[in-house]
Amino acid sequence: MLFRRKKKEAAAAEPPVQPVRGSEIEIVRERCREMVRKRALVSAGVAAVPLPGVDILSDLTTFTVLVEEVNREFGLSQQQIERLHPRMRVLAYQAAASVGGMLVGKLVTKTLVLQLFKRAGIRIAAKTVTKVVPIAGQVASAAIGFALFRKMGYQHVDACAKVARELQKIQVTDAGTAQVPV
């Protein structure tokens, strides 16, 4: 794939077993937002190519990989959530549903990402149509592609951060009630 980490890097940066907590949430959020910006630049570069359809296919693949990596960074990938205590697992999925994190904690497939892209259909159509106009259209297509990819990526990063905060609140509440003598 385009953006898979090398095995050495992946081994050095083991994904967390538990969802991230505390000040670590903001650190991971900023790191993921930087990842989104870099991928949005790649998306813009591909969108500037005057071949219709190439940009959509590239965006679909790139965004799928990005979502998987962001989920993993926050400790919210499907595999990581499945390793949690059953009660925490249910709470993680409930928190994802409550904040509208459509892609948080799920096995991300191109079909699922395509559904998300369909919601942004007008912008994608505008990006495709602008390619017909030489040079100016390609620049406009690249700008639309960058903005759209970045917006969708930021929304997913923010959803993951909200889920991590919700899980932290639940864990703090549980820890506080567990210490009270009965």
Residues 69, 3: contact at Cβ < 8 Å? yes
105: left (phi over 0), alpha (psi -120 to 50) or beta: left
Q: What is the pLDDT of residue 180?
A: 35
Q: What is the pLDDT of residue 150?
A: 95
Q: Which SS3 state, helix, strand or coil, does residue 95 take? A: helix
Q: What is the pLDDT of residue 181?
A: 38
130: left (phi over 0), alpha (psi -120 to 50) or beta: alpha
Q: What is the pLDDT of residue 8?
A: 47
Nearest to 128 by CA among 35, 59, 38, 39: 59
Residues 6+ apart with CB under 8 A from 120: 148, 152
Q: What is the pLDDT of residue 44?
A: 92
10-residue mean pLDDT series, the chain (182 residues): 52 63 93 97 88 83 93 91 86 80 70 72 62 73 89 93 88 53 36
Q: What is the pLDDT of residue 125?
A: 63
Q: What is the pLDDT of residue 48?
A: 84
Q: What is the pLDDT of residue 153?
A: 94
Q: What is the pLDDT of residue 131?
A: 61
Say how many residues make up the chain.
Answer: 182
